[in-house]
Amino acid sequence: MSLRVSVVVALKDRQEIIELELPEQSRVSDALEASRVFERFPELRGVEPGIWSRRCAAESLLRDGDRIELYRPLQADPKQMRRSRASRTR
């Protein structure tokens, strides 16, 4: 039996979805390696992975249909941006 998973990359100017078929008991790190995502996008090395919008460890087991996402650091703190906008409208 095998698992079908997706590895999703969202960069500032481009998005990509890589579909994979992996053996059962595969981990997030196995999917990232099989997708060759760090070879294609070296700027993503060291970013945190997640499954369906929830951060996870690279050693987390995968389930069929999982969507593996890579979370880039935020360019700006959302709370600070809201405070800044609110202070300008007063």
Sequential pLDDT tens for the chain (90 residues): 799 999 999 888 889 999 999 999 999 999 999 999 999 999 888 899 999 999 999 999 999 999 999 987 777 777 888 888 888 876
| pTM passes above 0.75 | yes
Class of domain 2-89: alpha beta
Task: Look at residue 65 and give its three-state secondary structure.
Answer: coil
